[in-house]
Amino acid sequence: MRMRLIAAAAAIFIAYSSAQAQMTFLPPAPTPVFEKVEIKITDLGNRTYMLEGVGGNITIAVADDGVFMVDSQFEPLYGKIKAAIATLTPQPVRYLINTHFHGDHTGANAAFAKDGAIVVAHENVKVRMVEGARNNVTNLPWPAWPREAQPKQTYKDTLTLRLQGRTAELRHPVNVHTDGDTYVYFPEANVLTAGDLVFFNRYPNIDYFYSGSIDGQIRGADELLQLAKEDTKIVPGHGPAGTKAMLRGFREMLVIARDRIQKLKADGKTEEEILAARPNADYDAKFKLDERAIGNFIRAIHRSLKN
């Protein structure tokens, strides 16, 4: 029995590797010039802030005895991020919550952990960080994260963290952007940090290597719409802070793009033919995106759609 299971697993791995070999991947994007990056702070009210630099947005929620921090961007920005937090409060970062494992959201984990922050994430995030992963755009490997960067505290479905005067409610939606997503609601401030479940003014990067899919992204948007109030401030994984109305618009875009590409796929069009057809030209122009972003979105939808 055990040998049959091993053989079956090997067959799945070979089939998966063969499918990857037939896919088109892109070279890495240019490395950001971190020295020129400035950290922009948006006040969301009630001692809650959004920090923008390069990579995923960061949320800072200040309590009486410390700070909740959501995501950490890239390691070279650690000093600038820490300095930005210091302009908001002298309190230390007590909890650093990761919305998923991608490096633009977890790069400065180790540095903040060495300062004393407890890294918290879904249990699947720890698996990726311990084992390493692959980039679904370039197919290049991400080596295992340093031990200090890995989550010290994990959870499965829901988790509530508390500091004096502040609460962070963590929830895991199943297989949306990745298999280890977390969104965080700060009830005292009515702020919802969505991670890469939501992108405003751009397309999402759907990680179909790790159980993300276009249908999952739509389902994730539905889950957030059920939670958010009309006046909830939403921190997306990328883009400006937004509203529930903007989240509705994001979901509508996902459905329209999915349906367009699904129809072309059903008509027998290849991925390259769908790319050439520019099925989302209206949104391409609205978001003012480059060819890389446009192509990545089409590929991710096409590859995550069920045949």
Q: Is the pLDDT of residue 9 over 70?
A: no
Query: pLDDT digits over 215-255, tens only?
Result: 999 999 999 999 999 999 999 999 999 999 999 999 999 99
Q: What integer pLDDT is reported at residue 16 of this predicted model?
A: 43
Q: How many helices (H) and strands (E) does the chain have?
A: 10, 14
Q: What integer pLDDT is reported at residue 307 of this predicted model?
A: 64
Q: Is the pLDDT of residue 283 over 50?
A: yes
The chain-wide mean pLDDT, for the chain, equals 94
Domain boundaries, the chain: 36-248
Q: Is the pLDDT of residue 5 over 50?
A: no
**Which top CATH class is 36-248?**
alpha beta
Q: Is the pLDDT of residue 150 over 70?
A: yes
Instruction: Compute the distance between CA of residue 54 and CA of residue 34 in angstroms, rounded to an integer.
Output: 8
b or e along 63-75 (b: 16 or more beta carbons within 10 Å of the residue's beta carbon)?
Answer: beebbbbbbbbbb
Closest residue by Cα to residue 302 from 289, 282, 290, 268 = 268
Q: What integer pLDDT is reported at residue 230 of this predicted model?
A: 97
Instruction: Compute the distance between CA of residue 244 and CA of residue 20 in angstroms, rounded to an integer.
Output: 37
Output the CA torsion sign for 117, 76, 83, 242.
negative
Q: What integer pLDDT is reported at residue 22 of this predicted model?
A: 72
Q: DSSP letters along 263-280, please?
A: HHHHTT--HHHHHHH-TT
Instruction: Compute the distance between CA of residue 217 and CA of residue 17 in angstroms, rounded to an integer.
Output: 25
Q: What integer pLDDT is reported at residue 20 of this predicted model?
A: 55
Are the beta carbons of 92 and 115 closer than 8 angstroms?
yes
Q: What integer pLDDT is reported at residue 1 of this predicted model?
A: 43
- Provide the pLDDT confidence category of residue 75 given band limits of 50, 70 and 90: very high
User: What is the arithmetic mean of pLDDT over 57-72?
Assistant: 98
Instruction: Compute the distance between CA of residue 39 and CA of residue 84 in angstroms, rounded to an integer.
Output: 7
Instruction: Compute the distance between CA of residue 137 and CA of residue 134 in angstroms, rounded to an integer.
Output: 9
3-state secondary structure of 44: strand
Query: pLDDT digits over 154-202, tens only?
Result: 999 999 999 999 999 999 999 999 999 999 999 999 999 999 999 999 9
Query: pLDDT digits over 16-25, tens only?
Result: 444 455 789 9
- Provide the pLDDT confidence category of residue 12 given band limits of 50, 70 and 90: very low
Instruction: Compute the distance between CA of residue 86 and CA of residue 69 in angstroms, rounded to an integer.
Output: 13
Q: What integer pLDDT is reported at residue 306 of this predicted model?
A: 81
